[in-house]
Amino acid sequence: MSKLVPPHGSSELKPLLLEGQARQDELKKAQGLKRVPMTSRETGDLIMMGIGAFTPLDGFMGKADWQGCCDSFTMPSKNNLFWPIPITLSAEQALADSIALGEEVQLWDTETEEIMGTMKVTEKYTIDKEHECKQVFKTTDLAHPGVQKVMEQAPVNLAGPVKVLSESFFPEMFPGIYQRPAESRKMFEERGWNTVAALQLRNPMHGSHAYLAWIAIEVCDGVYIHQLVGKLKPGDIPAEVRVKAIDALVNKYFRKDRVIQGGYPMEMRYAGPREALLHALFRQNYGCSHLIVGRDHAGVGDYYGPFDAQKIFNEIPAGSLRLQPLAMDWTFYCYECGSMASMKTCPHSSKAVIDDEGNYKGGARLLLSGTMLRKLMSEGKPVPAEFSKPEVIAVLKEYYDNLENKVEVKLHKAATGEK
Ligand SMILES: [Zn+2]
């Protein structure tokens, strides 16, 4: 009997992916159905449902659940079970009008041009997009990448149960990294872990992340370094490079029996606190009892307070999730402490000064951030040795040296520690 945390709102995982002959038969049927194109976000969500990461969803949400998620974190169709962000599918008006209720449609990924699944359309509805943005993103600013995606959605939402037919390119592109929740649970059980902390990553794993992972191992049986292999913003480091950098770090600095690296296909929404809750929910499905929530989890720009994503776990109704957050303060290397430290432990308030050559010129705290690391490297500047292990720097350097179209990384004020 597994001692791992149970899936969300269910005693077992609910993967909606068909396999074998059932998949072949459904795929054949799908070819004759009306085609509903999906954005990369919608495709990512569909795959999450396919692999059981969005247990216990049956498909894309109807209006009552959309409203419930926006306003009270609940799904009326599931006994008001907790859910923090609407999972919806949109379609153009003419296409929606042509689909009858009860009709089955083909779900088609616009980017890969692949049939990803089928859905029995049980509801068609329109939403107040601005309301969704205000509730989920706390802003309607179109410069916010998550808001932009919602505002660009087609006007009608289609809801209904889905059958998933493909995991897209993920299994092939990230072998051994891309995992289904049933696989991660099995690996945790094989190692005898009962408590597992997930470390969410979308940037290269630098010194602060490693520090958080070691702390998690001290308090849990193991750490699941779980990174996004779905879509990011332009300028972010691609997943394959991040995977390589994590390998370099884990191989040399972690006990193999205490760490597992994995990847998941969902796209970032950059919804800060609300997304931290969604990250927690699907990590519970992956078998994790804890989620490390550091500074500005899943945020972008300066839309969220640095610890809003920790506070929100105290604002949702008790018992919403079985997973618990591991709230961590802002961590950094401190030249005075001579080690990694956090705002909670380090009494030295001065900021370390690093010159343009990457040399230490005095002061205490070297505030590490993925954004700052990206900026230094994309400009070809040296990175202080305390920023990350040399093996990681080497992997990233190779990437930047080969990058033809260097994207200027804007260093927003949060990353400089001036906030
Ligand atoms: Zn210190």
**Extended strands (E) in 218-258:** 222-228
Question: Out of 41, 203, 258, 283, which one is annotated catalytic?
Answer: 203
What would the pLDDT profile of 142-155 be if each residue is shown by its tens digit?
Answer: 999 999 999 999 99
Distance from the alpha carbon of residue 128 to the mean position of ligand 1, in angstroms = 49
157 is catalytic: no
CA–CA dist 141, 149 (Å, integer): 11
3-state secondary structure of 400: helix
Q: What is the mean pLDDT of residues 160-177?
A: 95
SS3 at position 366: strand
Confidence band of 410 (pLDDT split at 50, 70, 90):
very low
- Residue 247 CA to ligand 1 center (angstroms) comes to 29
**Å from CA of 224 to ligand 1 middle:** 28
Task: Supply the pLDDT for residue 280.
Answer: 97
**Residue 201 CA: distances (Å) to CA of 294, 340, 405, 416:** 11, 19, 24, 20
Determine whether 203 is an active site residue.
Answer: yes
With beta carbons less than 8 A apart as the criterion, state whether 57 and 84 touch: no
Residue 405: what pLDDT?
A: 52
C-alpha of residue 419 to centroid of ligand 1, in Å: 19
pLDDT for the residue 419: 36
Q: Could you say which of 202, 258, 295, 374 is catalytic?
A: 202
d(CA 288, CA 283): 5
The alpha carbon of 362 and the centre of ligand 1 are apart by a number of angstroms equal to 13
| Helix, strand, or coil (residue 264) | strand
How many Cβ atoms from other residues are within 10 Å of residue 205's Cβ? 26
Q: Residue 368 C-alpha to ligand 1 middle, in angstroms?
A: 14
Cα of 321 from ligand 1 centre, angstroms: 35
Measured from the Cβ of residue 255, the count of other Cβ atoms closer than 10 Å reads 9
Say what percent of the chain tops pLDDT 90. 73
Least confident of 21-25, 158-162, 164-168, 247-251: 247-251
Give the CA radius of gyration of the chain.
Answer: 22
Q: How confident is the model at residue 354 (pLDDT cuts 50, 70, 90)?
A: confident
The model's pTM = 0.91
Q: How far apart are CA 300 and CA 147, in angstroms?
A: 11
CA 398 and chain centroid, separation: 25
pLDDT at residue 369, as a whole number: 64
Is the pLDDT assigned to residue 128 strictly greater than 50? Answer: yes
Q: Using the predicted structure, report yes or no on whether residue 186 has a pLDDT greater than 70.
A: yes
Mean pLDDT of the chain: 91
In the reported structure, the alpha carbon of residue 350 is separated from the centroid of ligand 1 by a whole-number distance in angstroms of 9
Question: Mind listing the pLDDT tens digit for each residue in 312-334?
Answer: 999 999 999 999 999 999 899 99
* Counts of helices then strands in the chain (DSSP H, E): 14, 17
CA 210 to chain CA centroid, nearest Å: 18
Instruction: Report which of 333, 354, 277 is spatially closest to residue 310, judged by C-alpha positions.
Output: 277
Closest CA to 310 of 321, 300, 324, 325: 325
Nearest to 331 by CA among 195, 215, 409, 245: 215
| 91 beta partners | 156
